[in-house]
Amino acid sequence: MLEKGYSPIQEFTFPNGQRLDGATIGPGGEILEVKIKVALAKLCGNGNWPDYLDYCDLFYFAMPPNFPHEHVPHETGLIVPTAMAVGSRSAKPAHQPAQGRHHQL
């Protein structure tokens, strides 16, 4: 991400109380969010990921290679780190954030 001009942001909490594992700010000011999941029960049992979409332009899940990826919502991107590289599935743009949401961050 750094080579593409994205700057990382550490874990933080949104005004709606949701905690994000990581995010980046792109060269054009766009916000790309990443939520880490390592257990299927956590992904399926915690359906709050749409609550993050008001605060980002792109949303990805990051999970290990052995995670059953068919359970990842297709509306999101997917990041899969391996020993050699990081692979990803492109995220569809999140819906346009409500006016001023980025400024709340």
Range of 33's domain? Answer: 2-104
The pLDDT-based confidence of 86 (bands split at 50, 70, 90) is low
Give percent above pLDDT 90 in the chain: 0
The pLDDT-based confidence of 101 (bands split at 50, 70, 90) is low
Coarse DSSP helix, strand, coil percentages of the chain, rounded to the nearest 5 percent: 20, 30, 50
Distance of CA 31 to the CA centre of its chain: 9
pLDDT digit string, tens, across residues 5-55? 889 887 778 888 888 788 888 888 888 888 888 888 888 877 788 888 888
Q: How many domains does the chain have?
A: 1
Q: Please give the full DSSP string across 50-99, using - where no structure is assigned.
A: GGGGGG-SEEEEE--TTS-GGGS-TTSEEEEE-SS-EEEEPPPPPPPPPT
